[in-house]
Structure 1
Amino acid sequence: MASPQSTQFAVAVHVLTYLAGAGAGPGAQPGRLVGATELAASTQVTAVHVRRVLAPLREAGLLTSTPGAHGGWRLLVDPADIRLDTVWRL
């Protein structure tokens, strides 16, 4: 069975990748806010778990979140500047 830390790391990497792609491609909206429910469905975990995993990334300045019905998450940095060892430590 996977440890909670490795599961959190996998969810964090998945969500960061998802957010990086949310503003890419034809018809995409750069900097689009992605809700925790959408991220949870993508990772097959609860929205509460997504928020807990992403809180340290927000505190480190990698992400921002906007609360409320029309809120969500988005990247603040270029995805190429995010290192996996940094995500692991956070």
Structure 2
Amino acid sequence: MQVRGEHGDVVVRARAGVQWTSAFADLGSELFPMLWALIPYGDAVFNERQVPLLLAELDRLPVACGGDWVGQARELCQVVSRGQALYLWFVGD
């Protein structure tokens, strides 16, 4: 996970990444539209208008999908919310 500016410059990086488990397959697009967009092999980008939706989903995320990455994602969401023209990137393999 990274926060990048509008020209792709990395502002801050997370120390942990998403730990992919089979539990992610159970996250439906209706209840978790932001997290449902994540895939292990591709990038997903969230802008400042999407970050509040992502935070709400992180609050109700099943324990099986949790880990250190959740707290770090929350921190990066705050960076995006406080800045201008910043984006939260989930970087796939």
Greater fraction of residues in helix: 1
Compute the TM-score of the two structures, normalised by the length of structure 2: 0.31
Q: Normalized against structure 1, the TM-score is what?
A: 0.31
Of Structure 1 and Structure 2, which has the larger fraction of its residues in strand?
Answer: 2
Of structures 1 and 2, the one with the larger relative CO (CA 8 A, separation 6+) is 2
